[in-house]
Structure formats: structure tokens, C-alpha cells
Structure 1
Amino acid sequence: MKLMQAIGSDVRAALKKPVSKTVDFSGEWPRVGHVYLRDLILGEDPYRLRFLMDRILELTPKLTWAVIAAGAASSVRLRPEASAIAKLTASASTYNDRRYAMGLYRRTAAPVCFTISTLVANALWLGSPFDKDTSNRNILYEALRLLPPSWNILRSASPEYCALDSRIGPNDDVLILPLLSHRDPAIWDDADEFRPERWDSLNPSEQPGYLPFGHTSERCWGQHMVMPLAERLLDIIRNNGLAVSPRQITADVPLAGLLGVFQVSVVRQ
């Protein structure tokens, strides 16, 4: 809980920072957005902590833990402006405690950078350039519908599920697939089309089958960090006249833990 509160505090502080006039969001997404978010939220943290956000560490857990083991060899010294989550990490006094704390630093902070940069990359691929009258929030709701970063939700067996559907037994785990329910033509008009305007008349918290952050009774704690930061990134992109390169006509969407478009080239229109 302390870690969640800390990263939440860091995100709120980041949102208060003015947007740099020199920021350049052209290039390969989601990497560009990921680096921006890392520096925006954790820019005053020591390099060995910020390096834990690097996307290259996704290649293998062994690489991640090797970096953590090396970084934990000595105590962490911080600037006064360091993030709240870095201050929790730096309080660890022994090697084993530092290694554990650095692992938690990555596990807590990295999903923020990964999820938001992926969501914005998805939105760009699905719909840019956007109509000037379309809100960023509607764009993001629709991107979350067609390419939900969390495309599967697994819940362990519970007798409560039996009351919802008689086909579910008391010992059955339940797998929910937003990737399918978000495209179900029985629920959505033009289910496979990118139509942000549909959210003018829909409530994402009440829309049947719409679960980008989980069910309303157990909503992901990161939702209130993801949406404001993603809107900030879209604001910068749209204000600077950026869009997906017209030369790029295909892209890969690996069916990984985080569902997102891989390597989107963003250029000035």
C-alpha cells in the first residue's frame, strides 16, 4: 500500500509540471512515450533506479534480476527532489533488503510507464490523425476497447461465481477476455471500427462488457494514474501536429501480457 501511495504521489507531482516546449514526441512508439514518462515521473532518481524502467529488461527476468543484484551492491543516495517511491527504496539498509526494494521499485513504477506509453501508441495506430473536435478521453476509451492492454483477467475459484452463472462450478477458475467482449457485435455497433464518438453517449463505468481496468467492484488502482497521463501525452502529440507516418501501413501486435502495437513510427504531418 505504501508503494502505491508513493507512486500515486509521484504521478500527481508530475502532472503539475509544465509541459516543456522542446519535448519531441516524433520517433518510435511506445518507446518515445515510455522514456518521456520515466523522466517526467522519476527524472530526479539515481540512474540505477531509472534504468530499472528500461524496456530492454522485458527480454528476460534473468536480465532484470542481474541488473537489480548489481544495483543493490551499495546504498542508494538521493537528491532532495527524488521521487517518493525512490525514498522508500533508499531506506533499505542491507544488500538483501535493497535488492528486494529495487525489485518492488520496478514492479510498482514500470507498469505505469509501460501501460500509458502502450495505450497512447495503440490510440495513435488506431486513429491518428484525430478529428480536432474529438476529446482525448474518448480517443483513449476507444483505444482501450479495441486494444485493451490487459486483454485477459484471471480470477481464482470462488463459490460466489456460481450465483452468477450455473455453468461455473465452485472449484472453477474464471478467465475473462476483454479482447473478445470489447468486440462483441451483440454489445457494440460497428464493433471492429475505431469510433471515439460512441463515448459521447456511453458511460465506460456502466457499459456492459467493457473491462479495460477490470470490473467495477475491483477496478485497477492504476486507472486514475493512467488516464490523466495518457491524456497529457495525447495533448502534446496533437498540439505538435504529429501522427503515424503514412508510410507505415502494417504493424505487429504481439499477444503478450501487455497488448500493444509494436514499433509505431510517429512523424509531423
Structure 2
Amino acid sequence: MKEEAWSGFQRDPLGFLDRELSGAGDIVQTGRNEYSLGNAAAARLVLSNADGSYAEHSDFFHTRYGYFEPRSAQLKMRREARGLLREFLQSRGPDALRDFIAQQVPATSRWPDAGNWLSYRYLLPVLLAPERPPALRRLLDRIVERSVLAGARARQPRWRRMWLQFNTTLRLSGAIGDCQRAPRDPPRDMLDVVANSDGPQRRQDELTEVYLSFLFAVSGSVGFVLAWSLYLWGTHPRRDVPAEWIVQEALRLWPVAWQLGRHPTQAHELSGVQVEVSDEVVVCPYLVQRNAAHWAQPAEFRPERWADEQAWRNPAFIPFGHGAHRCVAADLATQLVADMLRCVLALGEVDVVAHGDRPTVAAAMAPPPFTLQVRPSR
């Protein structure tokens, strides 16, 4: 009977979690050796991993070779990446963003793809300095089109995915090698940041995967959060509330990074369940952030809840993870999405026409497709 239930999770993971979610939402078995955790305190303990009960893991610094180390290289990369992003955002200012949105958003656009392209194009100079070879820019365009957009991977035949992976590794490894031979201080883009985060003995194809994590965060995560914010604004009764509240509520209800898997290094009890080293514990922000023990009407879109200062400190809000590996640019990215949302809504009379109500659930959770229609204000 359990096997049948677990197969239900594979077919409809969110529906399964919604059905299994208890009032406290502690822990749900989602596979033979997999448990999805929805208890806020336990989730924070797992992610912080202060007692070493779990193998060290970063969802950002995870490559085909395992966990990217040393920690000093991670910290250097995080510090420089945040500095680059902050400097870029401060140098552009609100007028530049407003003009960019006005140029990029037509009268009719299809989302969430439009959100991915908006965030990617706006932040492209951070990913790739303008003086880089145009061929690298075209390569990043193809990666976004074929690997980032909602459902893009499923639409590609296997041979095309393999060719793109091979070409990406080859081209970006070469670019990283060029950066290592002529290091820049300070770095001019994320390519410099990644290339010079560690010594020359580091495998260039491994560094390529870390660089792609930045690309996926910029074009995927940021773009999906913007799309979720617009979708929820447009499919619920209009509320005259700050854009920041809408973005926070979108992150709470529909966290893009909805599964954060960890592997125990020793058997122990977690939320009343005995977990073994053969198990996987999945911290599930989707469950944590709908936990009725921490949120009133947790399944409802209520951006006004963020008027309460305590909401911003709610322990059951972990859309960017928790602990040492929490997203280093979470505050910058959240503010950028709020600024972008404001600019889009200021374009005129804005309407959202939804084409469904089911998210696209993969490694990242994207909103249902919708059309954004903009008419000049009367």
C-alpha cells in the first residue's frame, strides 16, 4: 500500500504533499528511503547541520564530482558574486530598470518564459561582461532557451540535450581557462569570479558547473519568482499593497527551490521518525511554509500578512535555505524582483490571463502558463 502511495508522489508531488500534510506538517514519507520534512525547527537543524549529522552539501555548489570544496573557495566566490551584483544594481538605478522593462515587455507576452528572459537579459552584464566574445553570449542564450525555461528540458530530444551539455562544457571550460591565464582584480563578471576562486589545479569542467549555477539562479530562480508574483497578483482580488509583500508571499506559497535534499551520516531520530544513513531527508520549503503551526490560513494568498513585522522573522520561511549555505544574494534578488514587479505594473492597465492552475514541477517550481496583457492607461 505504501508503494502505491509513493508512486502517487511521483505522479503528483504537490497533490500528494497537500493530502499528507498534517496540522503540524512534521514529516512525510515520499519514497522507500525518502522523507520530506515540513517542521520548521527540524528543517533549520538539518540545513544548519551544526552537529554534523548530515553530509556537507550545498544545493548551489553541487557538481557531478560531488560537493565543491574547499569552503574558502566558496566563501570567496559568494563574497565577490554578491559584490558584483550589488555594484551593478546600484550603478543602474530605478530609471534604468524602468526603461528596460518598458522596452522589453510588449503589449502581449507569454509567461513564465518572459520572466526568465527579463531577469536574464537585465543581469547579463553581471554574468558575462559586454566585452566578452559574442559567441559566449549566444551560448548562454541557448542554455536559457533549452535548459532554463519551464519544461524546456522535457521538450528537447536526448541527443540535443547531450550535445548542448558537451558544447557548453567545452566552450565555458575554454573561457574559464582564458580567465585563469589572465586574472582580473577586481573581477569584471561571474566568469572571472568562478575562474579565480581557487587554484589552477581545479578542474575547469567542474568550475563550468558552478558558473551554470549562477546562470540558473539569475535566469531561472529570479525569473520564476517574478512570474509567480505577477501570476498571484493577477489571479487574486487586487490588493493595494507594496510589491515587496507580494513577492514575499509568492516566495512563501510557491518556493521555486521547493526541495533541499540531505543525506544522514549517522542514524538518528527526526520529527519522530528514525532515519538511517541509507535514507534521504528532503527539507521541503513547500511544506514548511504552509505549516499551520506558523501561518494563519497557510494555503491562502494573503500578502497583507507581511504588514506584521513578525512575519519577516517567521522561522517557517526558508525559500533561500538556511544556515551557512543560504543564498548570499537573497535580499538583493528579492528587492530586484519587487522593483521589476512595480515597473511592470506601472506600464499601464495590466491583466493576467491564466492558462491553467497547475505549476510546472521540476527541480525548480514554475507557475502555470499565463498571458500578460498591457494597455496604456486611460
State TM-score, norm by structure 2: 0.59
- In structure 2, what is the Cα distance between the partners aligned to 1:244 and 1:258? 25
2:116 is equivalent to residue 34 of structure 1: yes
Of the three residues 172, 177, 190, the one matched with 1:85 is 190
Q: Pick from 103, 112, 116 the counterpart of residue 23 of structure 1.
A: 103
Give the counterpart of 2:168 among 68, 71, 93.
68
Structure whose alpha-carbon radius of gyration is higher:
2
Change (3 A) 1:218 1:97: closer
Could you tell me how far 1:261 is from its partner in structure 2?
1.1
Do the aligned partners of 1:155 and 1:175 also contact (CA within 8 Å) in 2? Answer: yes
Do the aligned partners of residues 72 and 209 (structure 1) sit closer, same or farther apart at CA in structure 2, a change above 3 Å counting?
Answer: closer
- Distance 1:83-1:109 versus aligned 2 partners, 3 A rule: farther
Deviations 1:105-138 (A, max 9, x none): 2222321221011011111111228856411221
Look up the equivalent residue of 1:200 and give its one-letter code.
A
Change (3 A) 1:242 1:6: farther
Partner of 1:56: 146
Deviations 1:170-198 (A, max 9, x none): 63542222222322344332222211001
Distance 1:89 1:153 in 2: 23
| Distance in 1, Cα, partners of 2:163 & 2:358 | 24
Q: CA deviation at 1:28?
A: 1.8
Q: Which runs of 5+ in 1 are unaligned?
A: none
List aligned pairs for 1:148-227, cutoff 5 A: 148-158=255-265, 162=269, 165-169=271-275, 171=277, 173-204=280-311, 206-215=313-322, 219-227=326-334
Give CA-to-partner distance per residue, 1:7-52, whole Å, 9 cap, x none: 3233213312122524232412232232232232224243343333
Partner amino acid for 2:299? D
Match of 2:340, as an amino acid? Answer: L
Alpha-carbon distance in structure 1 between the residues aligned to 2:290 and 2:111: 24
Report how far residue 200 of structure 1 moved: 0.9
Per the TM alignment, residue 151 of structure 1 is displaced from its structure 2 partner at its CA by 1.2
In the alignment, the residues of structure 1 paired with residue 275 and residue 174 of structure 2 have an alpha-carbon distance, to the nearest angstrom, of 51
Paired with 1:167 and 1:33, the residues of 2 have a C-alpha distance of 40
* Distance change >3 Å, CA 179–CA 252, structure 1 → 2: same
- 1:116 aligns with 222
Percent of pairs identical after alignment?
Answer: 20
Name the SS for the 1:265 alignment partner.
strand
- Give the Cα–Cα distance (whole angstroms) in 1 for the partners of residues 194 and 316 of structure 2: 39
Change over 3 Å in CA distance of 1:206–1:158 after alignment to 2: farther
Of the candidates 215, 224, 234, which is equivalent to residue 128 of structure 1?
234
* Contact preservation (8 Å) 2:356, 2:369: no
2:98–2:343 Cα contact (<8 Å) kept: no
Instruction: Report which stretch shifted further, 55-64 or 173-182.
Output: 55-64
Q: Indicate conservation of the 8 Å contact 2:225/2:247, yes or no.
A: yes
CA distance in 2, matches of 1:234, 1:160: 45
Structure 1 SS opposite 2:327: coil
Find out whether 1:3 has 2:41 as its counterpart.
no
**2:134 counterpart residue number:** 47
Quick check: 1:57–1:64 contact (8 Å CA) kept in 2? no
Shift of 1:244: 4.3
Q: Which residue of 2 aligns with 1:259?
A: 365
Question: One-letter code of the match for 1:39?
Answer: R
Listed one character per residue, the Cα deviations across residues 50-101 of structure 1 (whole Å, up to 9, x for unaligned) are 33352313426524423314525865699x9x9421334677xx9x965554
Q: Compute the displacement of 1:145 (Å).
A: 1.5
In structure 2, the CA distance between the partners of 1:160 and 1:143, relative to structure 1 (3 Å rule), is farther
Deviation of residue 202 (structure 1)?
4.9
Matched residue, 1:232: 339
Counterpart contact for 1:125–1:264, Cα < 8 Å: yes
Q: CA-atom RMSD, angstroms?
A: 3.6
Distance of 2:363 and 2:123 partners within structure 1: 23
Tell me which amino acid in the other structure corresponds to 2:190.
Answer: I
Residue 268 of structure 1 is matched in structure 2 by 374
Structure 1 residue 141 displacement after superposition: 1.1
Whose strand fraction is larger, Structure 1's or Structure 2's? 2
Contact 1:205–1:216 (Cα < 8 Å) also in 2: no
In structure 2, do the counterparts of structure 1 residues 198 and 63 end up closer, same or farther at CA, with 3 Å as the change threshold?
Answer: farther
Cα gap change, 1:216/1:200 in structure 2, threshold over 3 Å: closer, same or farther? Answer: farther
Cα 1:180/1:103, change in 2 over 3 Å: closer
